Structure formats: structure tokens, C-alpha cells
Structure 1
Amino acid sequence: MNNSSTRVAESQKAVTRRRSRLIAAAFLAAATLLVGRLAWVQIAWGPELQQQAEAQRARVYVEPARRGDIVDRAGNQLAYTMQARSLTVSPVLLRKELREQQELQMSVDGLSREAIDAQVDARVEDVLRTMANEIPKMIEGAHAVNGAQDEDGEKARENRVSSKDILDKLHADSNYEVLVRNVDPDVAAEVAKDFHGVAADHQDIRQYPNGAVGENIVGKVSMDGQGQFGLEASSDSVLTGINGRSTEDVSADGQSIPGTLRDAVPAVDGSHVKLTIDVDLQTFVQRTLEQAKANSLAKDAEAVVLDAHTGEVLAMANTGTVDPNGNLEKQLAQGRSFDNYAISHPYEPGSVAKIITAAAAIEEGLTNPQEVHQVPGSIDMAGVTVKDAWVHDVAPYTTAGIFGKSSNVGTLQLAQRIGEEKFAEYLDRFGIGQTTGIELPNESPGLLPVVEQWSGGTFANLPIGQGMSWTTLQMASVYQALANGGERVEPRIISEVVGPDGQEVPAEPAKRTRVVSEETARTTVDMFRSTFQQDPMGVNSGTAQGNGIEGYQLSGKTGTAQKVNLETGAYSQSQFWITFAGIAPADDPRFVVAVMLDEPQRGPLEGGAGGQSAAPVFREISSWLINRENIAQSPPAEPFVLEQR
């Protein structure tokens, strides 16, 4: 080999070595980059990527807590929760998947691309219409089989599932629609199995088995289970439980990965609330009020029944209460309401408030039932002239007669003996101008001007029940204090709360206030029997004559309060609140009943009989209670002399 060939060979070897080194360097550089990238991914991005992967695999499952029941004093259910399902769908995704399914099926059937494009939309629409038609049939068919079909044709039509509504939702441009709520779990599972894309989501249905009975007390929950009205709202934190949670990993096809269940926390159901309400009595009182409203042509009617000694609310009712099981929009448009007017809508009580003046005067030793007063037909107080409801000259009324006949003038004569400051003290003791403390929302304290703001005419109004406003519950509370030997007990409507473990949660004891002595209370209650007295000559007749219950002593007071004319700002001569509050029986008090009729045009009994008075309603409720409790008859009692002759 010559030198030239040797140089060429060495040159080629050098080139090969340089190329090898370059290739090796390139591989080394690439390897270094890959190792560095891998290290970066593992060290810097690793935790975040791991979290993302876990998030993609992990599924958090919620175990809904069951809302506590609301029951009456005997354990009858007023509200309870029933499990159901909501049928839901993602319309956009459903139509996309149905389109893919139909295209695949037509392709398998050998159709051309052109034929597939021409027919796919119609086929998808056929599936949607089948769903819209068959789902209602499955739901209504299950109702018929289970005997749950509503006997009320109108309500059945309101609750019927509409095929048109379902089809509209299936056509919606949205990712989530609720097709039907409140579906039986078994039916929902069948629908979800038969129709692609339909899910059966868990849903709790709050049931109100008594309809409108007690609904003003119980209230209602919203679609998402939150308390909206009444006790459902005020006791929402007690009734609502704590949802359980758990986490589990799933595979790409949605299958659970064994051994990955973690962070499991069981659900804690809500507590049960037992009320003092008697559902049978509540039903009777509501029915009686509705009848009284219709008979008297009144705008509204209210009533409260208390246990005379414990202050427990046995019934609390008003007319026009919503039935939560019916069409709410329709009912609200008709004037029905969720409001509990007996605690939220105060009004001037009228002469029913005179019992405070009577009790104060007796407690202060300023009079007794037999004292004779010379009562003129009118009285002037600080420039305000007040008259009695009937025209008379100076009359020799006894103290019992002043209240039995409801003399405004005689009541103000006694109030003058008491004095403004002392009278204001008694109003405070009886709880006027204060909330009662009842465990319900939206209670009004009423209206009572503070004594420092009393004008010359204020003291001419307050002792006869004008110039201040009470709720029906406050009215009942005043009479409860006297029926209970002069001790006012804060009204209570919750008897007990029972936790999900069955343990009773102690309730705070009701506040007690000594208003007057036992002797004064007995004397006052006994004296107000005069309201029911009936004298053929009329001399010793009370304002509630003819409304007694044979064999029983009753005590109470009628009331007529003028409403303010909004146009003139003065008291109306044609618009009134008609009230009555009383105690049954008077000799051994068991019940206190307070009633209000708003602008009655005639009597509350059938055909408008009974006079423009709420006393007949008191009599009906008291008679029902006496008969139901089989209360022994009262001993004979001497009538009071109301007018000395």
C-alpha cells in the first residue's frame, strides 16, 4: 500500500471516529435530556400529577342523612321524609350518544354514508319521543298498581307527568335536566335500566300527611330540603342531619377498585321533634274557623288553645292555610298563605283586654266584684271623650257588671284608680308588647307605646283594649296567667326533641312570671263568669249570654275593636276585629281558648246566626274539649249582680 492509500485510509478512520463521537455525544445529550425530564416529572410534577390521577380515579359518595320527623303530642306524624328518586339526564350528551349508536347500527346494517346521514336525525327523534311517551306510562302505571292513584281528579291531573314536558327537556340545549321528581325508587331504577342516559338520583320527599291541618305551624321545606316556613325553618338545624361521605377509586370503565374504600364517615340522621299540638283538636279548630269565616263573611279567623297550667299550645290555627300537597302557585294566587297569623299579625284586642284592668284593680285592693259604681254614659279623660256601646244615664253597675256588660266608662273609672304608671307595670307583667318566646319564626311582639310616650288620650284607650296591638297567642297567654293562679308561663309548642340515637334532648324550662296573687286570679276568673250570665229581664245579662255550656262554669270576655280607616286615619265605624278569650271550666281551669274574627258581617254560626261575636266559636271549641276529655260537670254557682236595683 502506497503512502497515498495510507493517508486516505487514516482520513476515513478519523472521519468515522468524529462521527462516532458526534453520534455518541448526541445520544448522551438526548439521554441526559430524557433523564432530566424524567427527574423533573418525578420530582417537580410528580405530586401534582399523582393528585390529578387520584382525582380522576377517586369518587366521593354522599350518603344523605334523613330529616327528622315532626309529630304531635300523641306521636301522630305531621311531617316525615320518604326516600324517592329524581330522573335526570344530560340532553346534549344523550343526543350525541344516541346519534353515535344509531350511526353504528345503520353501518352494521349495511347502509351507505349518504343513507345514514339522511336517516340518523329522524331515528334519534324517534328514540326521544319513545322516552317521552313511555316514562310517564311507567310512572303512572306503578301508581295505579300500588293503589296510590289520587281520588281527587283535579289533584291527579296536577301531579300527572307530561310527555310534552319531558320531550321539551330532552330537546333542551343543556347538560342537566330533571325529567321527573318524586319517583318511586324501584320505578326509577326500571326507567334508568330501560332508557339510555337516564339516571335515578337520590331524592328525599318531605311528606305532610295531614295536608293543610297544622301547616301554619309545621311549615314546609324547599326542593333542596331546606326549611322555608314554620317549624321546618325555625328548627331546621335540629331536623337536618349530617350527610355521610366515603371515597373509593374506580377504573376507566367505572368499576370499583377493591381495597380503595377510605375516609368513610357514616350519616347522622336529624332529630325528631315532638310538638304539644293535638292533631285531632287542631283539625277541629281549623274546620270550625273555616266554617265561622264562611258563615260570618269575615276576611279571616284565628284561634289558639293553651293548656291552662303548662302554657302548652294544643292548637294554633288560622283560615286560608296552604295545603303543601296541592298546587302551591294556584293556592297562593287564591289568597292562601304559609303565614302563621296567630303569632305574626297583631291587632287591637278590644274589650277582651279589660281583664288586665280588672286583675290590676283587684290585686291593688282598689275594688271587689260586688262594689257598686255610679257609671255615667261617657267619661272625659285628658280631652278624650269615651262612651259606652249603649246609651244610658248614670247606672249603678257592680265591678262584675262593669266587665260582664263591658262598660268602657266603668273600666276607665277603675283605671283612674290604678294610675298610669301602675297600669303600665301590669301590662309589662302580662307580657304586652313582648314576644311570648314561642319556638316559631316571625313572632311579632305586638305594639305597646312606652309609658314615657303616652299622650293625654293614651290612657283613655289602653285599659279598654285600644291603642295597642296583640297577637292571638298573646291574648291567650294573658288569660292563661289568670287561669294558672296568676302565674304566666311562656307558651311552648315543642314538647321534646329526640336525637337519632333515641336519646331525649332536654329542653329549657319555660319562663314563669308571677303576675298577680292566686287569690286575685281566682277572684278575677270567677268574676268573668258574669260575661255568660243570662237574665230574662236583661238586667244581669252579660255580653256572651246564650253561649254557655249547660252544667259547666265558663269565664271569658268579648271584644270589639275598631279598625283604623286608612283614608281618614280615624277609627272606622264599620270595620272591626271581633275577639273572645276564655277559660273552660272556670271552677277548675283546664283550657284557655282565644278567638279572633276579622271584619265579620254577621254571626259565625250556620246561616249567619250567633250575633256579631266570637263567643259562639269559643263555645264550640270548649264544648268539643270538655266532651273529648270527659270533664266532670261544675258545681252550681250563684250568678253575679251586675246592676244594683
Structure 2
Amino acid sequence: IVTVTSAIEEGVATSTDVIDCQMGSIVVFGRTIHDHKPFGLLTVKQIMEKSSDVGAIKLGLRLGDERFASYIDRMGFGKPTNIDLPGEERGLTKPASHWTKSSIGSIAMGQEIGVTPLQIIRMVSIIASGGILYEPYIVKRVEHPQNGILSETIPHGERVISADTAAKLQDMLEVVVTHGTATAGKLDGYTAAGKTGTAQKIDETGHYSKTKFVASFTGFAPASNPVVAIIVVIDEPVGQHMGGEVAAPLFKKVAEPILRYMSVPPDVPTYAPQYTMKEALPVKSRSFVKRATYSPSREGETASEASGGGRFRTLWAKQPVSARVIDRVYGSESSDFGDVTIPDFHGKSLRQVTEECLKAGLRLQSTGSGAAIEQIPPPGTSVRAGARVQVRFSTRMSQR
């Protein structure tokens, strides 16, 4: 990531430049370096997608030692992040004046350098945050019950790359997940972006081991509007050892529940089944029937019960159902089939709605921002605990 970012920021390459990766082999000042696969002509974007070492080395050579070393320093490597935790390591880096002639070939693909997981996730967060390097922290605020706020951490950041370069890298890292080495980290319902890593460990002889590895994946989600950044590091995996094989799947397992717990709206709507709501003819009891037609996108997908106000609507849900068409009668005597009454969320903030849903045992599906303007099921509906509620938010309040 650092190599490609530096090359684009310095203007020595663009994402569409074509690089000859020489079928997986390059000689750097007398030292032969092999790629993990033989690649021919690749664009810079494909170099990132396929994780080509030869491609990265050629970009490093375009930069030169001094410029490349300056970006390594600028992006936070070789020095502590100053996080409020004890015992932080600086990592291992050298100034360009101490590099050998072939060092740029090694460093461009991640060798001859030691970095911490915190430094890596901080670096990928630069891309996610539009080019700003932030100082990480654990404790946001310390409060005393009588004396109020004793201390508070104010987030501090500085721009280290342009917003344009960051946007280009976001696009490249998203392709790594959708079509590259990290497809096993693709999320259900959310876009994601990131980069795999497979590092050889130093063995007892002081050389790079051919059997001991550190597999990793670092990324952020949603790619369209990043909320969380995550790093997964696996020391000496047994069997499969590539970052895309063993670390990316764990990123998926961690990221999906975190995003849902935080009520982050999905940005890939096609992942969920759909309902079409229609109002049927009135019945004698003055109640009316709603028909929910379930159209699963794949076999075994599930959906939840839904209700509406007589308009056509599409809902996102994932509760078990036993049939593809669900009929439910709603009216003055329809409140005896559940044990949780849906609150009225109209006008409330996302935080307020989230807290009420947690207290009531409901699962929130939110879209938009601002104040709640629409909800399904409607207020007063009786549902089972664990049911999903869809609430739409807007900065422009509608009239009731």
C-alpha cells in the first residue's frame, strides 16, 4: 500500500499505467527476486489487486531511495503512534542513507522493515479517512460523578497525502476484496476495502524462512463510507499460509457483526431478500390483510414478518419463515401474536432509536441520517422479541 500510494502521490505512476512484471522475476542490483506468481503486463491497479512483488519493486525504483523513505516516515512507520497504552514498539526502519543498493527492492515488497499491527491499521486508516493521519487513542474521556469531565481526548490528525490520492487507493483496495487476493473477506451487505499480507519470518540462521509465515489482512468498511478499520494477524498458520486464505475470512467474521451492532446501513442492497407489500380488500372485522411476497435471492435465505400502511414497500430482513407468501391480519384485535410492542420512533435520532431497540430486544435496520421519519412495522405493532425493525432517517423532517 505504501509503495503504490507514494508512487501515485509523487506523480511517477497512475492507476492505469501498465507495468511489465516480467513473468515473476526481477534482478535488483545483482539480486534476483521472485514473485509469488508469474505475472506479465499489469496496470498499477492490478498490481495492487494481485499483490505483485515485481510490480511493487518497479514502482519503488521509480521513486528512488530518498523519496520512498520519506513516505515510510510520513505514514507513521519507525516511530511510536503515542497511543495511551504502555510498552509500544517503534518498529524497525532505516534511513535511506543506510540502505544497500538492493534495499529498495526488498522494502517495496515489505522486507527489510519491521512494523507493528497498530502502525499498519493506522496506515490503512489514512486511506479510509481521505489522507489524514490520526493519532490513535483508547480513552476518549474520563468523568467524575460529582466533578464532571476530568480529561478528554481531542482527535488530532494531519494530512499526509492528498484526498485525490486517497480516493484512488480506496478504489484499488476495494477491488482487492471484490476481485483480488482477498475475495474471502467480501462482506454480506457491505462493501469493504483492504490488502492481504504474507510475510516470511526470520529463521534461526538469520535468513527468511520458507516454512514460517505471518499472514495478515487489514481493511476498512464500508468502503463507500468507512466506519471501522480492522487488522487480522495470524502468526505461523499451519497448512494454508497466505493472508487471503487465512486472515481475510476472519476479517469478514469480525466486520459483519460489528457493522450490524453499530447499526451501519448496508451499502450493498442486493444481499438481502425483498418484500413487496400490498393492501388487500377490506374484511368484515374492519381490519385489513397485508400480503408479503418473499423473493429470496438465493436458496436458504430467510426473511422476517413485515407490515405497512397500504403502500408498496421494500424491506430488508433476515428472520426465519416457513413459506414464500405470508398473510397476516392487522386490526383492532391483532395485538395478541407478539410479546413486544413497537415504539414510535418518529422524530428521534439514530442513537435514541438504537437504544430503544436494544432495550426492547429488537434488531434495528437503519437507513439515512438525521431524525426518524418512517418505520416498519408501524408504532403499536406487536412482534416477537428479536424481530427486525426498519427505520428511515432524514435531515428534513416530514409532516405526520
Given the two structures, how large is their TM-score scaled by the length of structure 1?
0.40
Q: Deviations over 1:496-536 (max 9, x none)?
A: 122464321233534422110111111101111121234xx
Aligned to 1:543: 181
Aligned to 2:175: 530
Say if 2:141 and 2:153, in contact at 8 Å, map to a contact too.
no
Q: Determine the C-alpha separation between the residues in 1 that align with 2:3 and 2:269.
A: 27
The 1:579–1:611 alpha-carbon spacing in structure 2 relative to 1, beyond 3 Å, is closer
Say if 2:142 and 2:149, in contact at 8 Å, map to a contact too.
yes
Aligned to 2:18: 372
Aligned to 1:575: 212
> Aligned AA for 1:565?
D
Q: Determine the C-alpha separation between the residues in 1 that align with 2:264 and 2:43.
A: 32
Q: Determine the C-alpha separation between the residues in 1 that align with 2:92 and 2:183.
A: 31
Displacement after TM superposition at 1:612 (Å): 4.1
**If you compute each CA radius of gyration, which structure gives the higher value, 1 or 2?**
1
Q: Determine the C-alpha separation between the residues in 1 that align with 2:269 and 2:60.
A: 32
Alignment of 1:36-51 (within 5 A): none
Aligned to 2:121: 476
Aligned to 1:60: none
Given candidates 52, 67, 77, the residue that maps to 1:407 is 52
Aligned to 2:250: 617
The 1:510–1:626 alpha-carbon spacing in structure 2 relative to 1, beyond 3 Å, is closer
2:194 is the counterpart of 1:556: yes
Q: Determine the C-alpha separation between the residues in 2 that align with 1:407 and 1:469.
A: 20
Displacement after TM superposition at 1:625 (Å): 1.6
Given candidates 363, 378, 381, the residue that maps to 2:28 is 381
Alignment of 1:108-147 (within 5 A): none
Say if 2:216 and 2:243, in contact at 8 Å, map to a contact too.
no
> Aligned AA for 2:27?
D
Of structures 1 and 2, the one scoring higher in RCO (CA 8 A, sep 6+) is: 1
SS for the counterpart of 1:506 is strand
Aligned to 2:381: none
Aligned to 1:418: 63
Say if 1:526 and 1:587, in contact at 8 Å, map to a contact too.
no
Q: Determine the C-alpha separation between the residues in 1 that align with 2:209 and 2:2.
A: 25
Say if 1:563 and 1:576, in contact at 8 Å, map to a contact too.
yes
SS for the counterpart of 1:543 is coil
Aligned to 2:140: 495
Say if 1:559 and 1:580, in contact at 8 Å, map to a contact too.
yes
> Aligned AA for 1:442?
G
Displacement after TM superposition at 1:428 (Å): 0.9
Cα RMSD, aligned residues only: 2.2
> Aligned AA for 1:364?
E
Displacement after TM superposition at 1:543 (Å): 0.8
Q: Which has the higher helix share?
A: 1
Q: Determine the C-alpha separation between the residues in 2 that align with 1:531 and 1:472.
A: 20
- Count of matched residue positions in the alignment of Structure 1 and Structure 2: 269
Q: Determine the C-alpha separation between the residues in 2 that align with 1:603 and 1:574.
A: 11
SS for the counterpart of 1:546 is helix
SS for the counterpart of 1:373 is strand
> Aligned AA for 2:258?
L
2:263 is the counterpart of 1:630: yes
Question: Any stretches of 5+ residues in structure 1 without a counterpart?
Answer: 1-354, 535-541, 638-645
Aligned to 1:104: none
> Aligned AA for 2:185?
N
Say if 2:197 and 2:243, in contact at 8 Å, map to a contact too.
no
Q: Which has the higher strand share?
A: 2
The 1:610–1:574 alpha-carbon spacing in structure 2 relative to 1, beyond 3 Å, is closer
Q: Determine the C-alpha separation between the residues in 2 that align with 1:592 and 1:443.
A: 20
Say if 1:601 and 1:612, in contact at 8 Å, map to a contact too.
no
The 1:497–1:468 alpha-carbon spacing in structure 2 relative to 1, beyond 3 Å, is same
Displacement after TM superposition at 1:627 (Å): 1.9
Instruction: Please say which of residues 438-447 and 611-620 is displaced more in the overlay.
Output: 611-620
Q: Determine the C-alpha separation between the residues in 2 that align with 1:404 and 1:417.
A: 20
SS for the counterpart of 2:107 is helix
SS for the counterpart of 1:623 is helix
Displacement after TM superposition at 1:603 (Å): 5.4
The 1:628–1:499 alpha-carbon spacing in structure 2 relative to 1, beyond 3 Å, is closer
Displacement after TM superposition at 1:390 (Å): 1.5
Given the two structures, how large is their TM-score scaled by the length of structure 2?
0.63
Q: Deviations over 1:357-393 (max 9, x none)?
A: 111111112222222222112111122221110235x
Q: Deviations over 1:414-445 (max 9, x none)?
A: 11111111111111111100100011111001
Say if 1:610 and 1:616, in contact at 8 Å, map to a contact too.
no
Say if 2:184 and 2:248, in contact at 8 Å, map to a contact too.
no
The 1:611–1:469 alpha-carbon spacing in structure 2 relative to 1, beyond 3 Å, is closer
SS for the counterpart of 2:12 is coil
SS for the counterpart of 1:617 is helix
The 1:611–1:482 alpha-carbon spacing in structure 2 relative to 1, beyond 3 Å, is closer
